[in-house]
Structure 1
Amino acid sequence: MALHIDDLPAAIRKAKRELRETLPNYKAVFAEVESAMNEEANRIAAVRDRGDAVIPEIQFADIVANRVSPEQIALVKSRGACVFRKVFDQSLVEQWDNDIADYVERNDLDKKLLTRAEDKYFGQLASSKPQIYGVYWSKPQVLARQSDELTQARVFLNRLWKTESEGRVHFDPNHVPVYADRLRRRPPGSESLGLSAHCDGGSVERWIETNFRKVYRHVFSGNWRDYDPFDAAWRTDVEEIASPAVCSMFRTFQGWTALTPQGPGDGTLQLVPIANSMVYILLRALQDDIADDDLCGAMPGRALSIRQEYHPPLFRALSSIPLMQAGDTVFWHSDVIHAVEDAHRGTGYSNVMYIASLPSCAKNDAYLKRQLPSFLEGKSPPDFPADHFEVDFVGRATADDLTPLGRSQMGMNL
């Protein structure tokens, strides 16, 4: 279900009043959180500035062979992000990239982009949008989503979560449904086409909606050290305000697969690798210097913007991901702050397929039923602007391209 709010300023005032009443020492608790966040941000910045990796890196072969150490897992859960190396063979991915280029060129996508539906999701961010293509059903995308490799990688990620708590089983980590998402094809030399720091998966809802409050129950009760970003309790029950590009599914990790080599300076991804940074964001909005009808600039139906004037410690930890090769993947927790570099100063295309990690649950199954007709008809998925570019595209993937695993992941068996 979608959340509807008729009078947002009144709803914000009411929520902040209730949360402050529940946590009368909100100033003192925030002071503790701010101190801890400053320490962690400075620690990450020091690691980054001396040239060491701040995003954990795991060889995909070690996932297959069950050789990932407890120490590696602990670091992934602390940083809320990871890079998997060599998930796909480089030559296969290079062929996929060529096939996608042929697919969009043969079908004159660039001309169609001139008439695309307006996507206001990133509208309040200081930077605009990178070259994201409203393409969902190319054969390489469909093949990658249903691949054994990405399925294994995402099951590994799903299993990092606490799937049973509060007396309930929240999801099945071993089944990975498909969330069809877009492509990025970014040419070298592009300037000021990045994304400012933000979080997806809810903006004002995090303070207002009942189940979001339950997700962050330890934060809002002042017991913030008990908050576990990987506890799935209530995550599959939250309700978002509907908007084009607001994700209706529960993603354990957002992610993308590199189609080309790319790294720092290539207009690529940046992360704040602090898994519990949402604690700071949530409590910051309750402080007295923020107006009673304001949540640090959060807007409904938009990405949750992270701003220097409100959240300065987090920007010290903002770090570009390491050099990625074609076939590598990067994943980040659904609450982790991320951005895209404004300038692409590299020499080649910076191309990716957005493919997230999701588990099976009632919330996700409901979306699959809405998404399946979009696949069969070549339309844009329900969460995205209704461009429907691919309806008549030559070479679009069809049900005949699905394996038995792919059919299951698309929800054809529901």
Structure 2
Amino acid sequence: GTLPPAFATLVRDRGCVILRNVVPTAQATAWETSLKSYTTRHRSVGGFPVDNPQNWSLWWTPAQVQIRSHPRVLAAMRCVSQLWHVDDPTLPIDMDAQVVYPDRFRIRYPSKGAEYTLPAHLDSGGIERWECAANRENFAKIFQGEWEGWDGWRADARLEARSDLYGVNAACSCWRCMQGWLSLSETGTGEGTLRLLPSLKASVAYIMLRPLFDDEGGWSDGEATFPGSEPGNTQFFPSKEWHAALQMEKSIVGIPPVRPGDYVFWHCDLVHEVDRFHPGTRDSSVVYNACNPLTPYNLQSLLRVREAFKKAAVPPDFALYEIVKEHEGQHEDHGARRDNILSSEGLQAMGLEPYDVDAPGLTEGQRKMRKMANEALGFGTAAEDD
């Protein structure tokens, strides 16, 4: 389905949305039970924090593979992906098709300590937001002094954008147009969960222009610096010191309460963080699962991810975690099996079935992209599909 037009306009302005009851409560709760059981059986896989793992170094449990391929999960991803638009219908961008980007899950326990913290940040690029030419094109309206006219939902200029120009081992090599997670538990506001700065256009414009101004807000005629970013770190960290006008102590707010089966999404350029504390009474459990449209860049990611799936191996973007002493590929009960993929669309997203090039309503660019993907995945050449 699609979001009602007035509501979609509000979501584009805020940069975030919660879809309620995407999967039944009983199913979401069963997945949480399955994940907890898996971590109990395989404690040595570890995670973060090291002495009390809550963000587990696991990517291919049965529950995770099932969630990524569940028809209602994929329908929700397709729904929010329609918030984006492509002006040039000939470009090889398919916002209706997904590729799997395997991420981890979090089971955060109630605690008075701040051992699990993630300060305000942006993913998908640090210094790359200024250094990458495609990113500069994407933010061109802002740099031209017309920030009110910047369209953060136009996908065209994202096609060639790169979030990692320095080849680090823990960088995202996939364009996640909407980051997101599926809730597996009942979690209240402030109970060890997500916090967002729900003002997309103004916050992005300020962050992108900040290097051009001095600390007093005047035009800087010296050499630009880029506070919050450093080469080799693909996350950007705004701070109260360097980005005072964001007023993050007020502007970043906790998300509303969520229940098992709710799906939380936020724009790839939205500032977000995690509660320092979890004062609640039960675990806060989520499975990270972003929207990853079919593009040439994401296709290259899918080719690598498919090979990792076949071996139940650590995904390439998480190679840093190969130092752990135990991997899923060593487990007889890992979930990297075709039987755990619950839909044909899920098989396509995992690179195990060809994308449908004859689906009604495809643009020239979508059909081109699907043919390109099928050829790269070994399902026949583009010429044979014509």
Within the candidate set 86, 91, 108, 1:169 is matched to 91
Structure 1: distance between partners of 2:284 and 2:168: 27
Q: Which moved more, 1:322-331 or 1:227-236?
A: 227-236
Structure 2: distance between partners of 1:113 and 1:153: 28
Within the candidate set 12, 15, 23, 1:80 is matched to 15
Is the 1:164–1:170 contact (alpha carbons within 8 Å) kept by the matching residues of 2? Answer: no
Kindly report which structure 2 residues correspond to 1:130-145, keeping only aligned pairs within 5 A, or say none. Answer: 131-145=54-68
Kindly report which structure 2 residues correspond to 1:313-332, keeping only aligned pairs within 5 A, or say none. Answer: 313-314=245-246, 315=248, 316-332=250-266
1:107 and 2:29 correspond = no
1:210 and 2:133 correspond = yes
Amino acid at match of 1:82: V
Question: What residue is the counterpart of 2:340 in the other structure?
Answer: 401
Amino acid at match of 2:241: E
Structure 1: distance between partners of 2:223 and 2:188: 41
Structure 1: distance between partners of 2:190 and 2:150: 35
Report the CA distance between 1:130 and its aligned residue.
8.4
1:225 and 2:137 correspond = no
Residues 321-362 of structure 1 show CA distances to partners (whole Å, capped at 9, x for unaligned) of: 000001101000000000001001001111100000121111
Report the CA distance between 1:404 and its aligned residue.
2.7
Runs (4 or more) in structure 1 with deviation over 4 Å come to 112-116
Count of paired positions: 335
Structure 1: distance between partners of 2:193 and 2:258: 10
Amino acid at match of 1:400: D
Structure 1: distance between partners of 2:228 and 2:256: 31
Question: What residue is the counterpart of 1:281 in the other structure?
Answer: 207
Q: Which moved more, 1:288-297 or 1:310-319?
A: 288-297
Which secondary structure does the structure 2 equivalent of 1:175 belong to?
A: strand
Amino acid at match of 2:230: M
Structure 2: distance between partners of 1:329 and 1:82: 8
Structure 1: distance between partners of 2:49 and 2:244: 38
Identical columns (%): 31
Amino acid at match of 1:279: A
Is the 1:130–1:194 contact (alpha carbons within 8 Å) kept by the matching residues of 2? Answer: no
CA RMSD, Structure 1 to Structure 2 (Å): 2.1
Amino acid at match of 1:371: V
Amino acid at match of 1:294: T
Is the 1:130–1:195 contact (alpha carbons within 8 Å) kept by the matching residues of 2? Answer: no
Residues 297-317 of structure 1 show CA distances to partners (whole Å, capped at 9, x for unaligned) of: 311232100101122332121
Question: What residue is the counterpart of 1:250 in the other structure?
Answer: 175
Report the CA distance between 1:172 and its aligned residue.
0.9
Question: What residue is the counterpart of 1:340 in the other structure?
Answer: 274
1:381 and 2:315 correspond = yes
1:297 and 2:220 correspond = no
Structure 2: distance between partners of 1:185 and 1:300: 31
- Aligned in 2, Cα 1:114/1:338: closer, same or farther, shift over 3 Å? closer
Which secondary structure does the structure 2 equivalent of 1:73 belong to?
A: helix
Structure 1: distance between partners of 2:92 and 2:80: 15
- Aligned in 2, Cα 1:274/1:373: closer, same or farther, shift over 3 Å? same
- Aligned in 2, Cα 1:109/1:130: closer, same or farther, shift over 3 Å? closer
1:183 and 2:105 correspond = yes
Is the 1:194–1:267 contact (alpha carbons within 8 Å) kept by the matching residues of 2? Answer: no
- Aligned in 2, Cα 1:214/1:191: closer, same or farther, shift over 3 Å? same
Within the candidate set 98, 102, 126, 2:33 is matched to 98
Structure 1: distance between partners of 2:12 and 2:182: 20
1:392 and 2:324 correspond = no
- Aligned in 2, Cα 1:143/1:321: closer, same or farther, shift over 3 Å? same
Structure 1: distance between partners of 2:260 and 2:148: 39
1:312 and 2:267 correspond = no
Report the CA distance between 1:257 and its aligned residue.
0.5
Residues 233-289 of structure 1 show CA distances to partners (whole Å, capped at 9, x for unaligned) of: 221211223333321111110000111111222111000011212111010111134
Which secondary structure does the structure 2 equivalent of 1:185 belong to?
A: strand
Structure 1: distance between partners of 2:111 and 2:84: 39
1:268 and 2:203 correspond = no
1:364 and 2:303 correspond = no
Question: What residue is the counterpart of 1:69 in the other structure?
Answer: 4
Kindly report which structure 2 residues correspond to 1:119-138, keeping only aligned pairs within 5 A, or say none. Answer: 131-138=54-61
Normalized against structure 1, the TM-score is what?
0.77
Report the CA distance between 1:190 and its aligned residue.
5.1
Amino acid at match of 2:181: W
Amino acid at match of 1:369: L
Structure 2: distance between partners of 1:114 and 1:351: 14
Normalized against structure 2, the TM-score is what?
0.82
Question: What residue is the counterpart of 1:147 in the other structure?
Answer: 70
- Aligned in 2, Cα 1:74/1:114: closer, same or farther, shift over 3 Å? closer
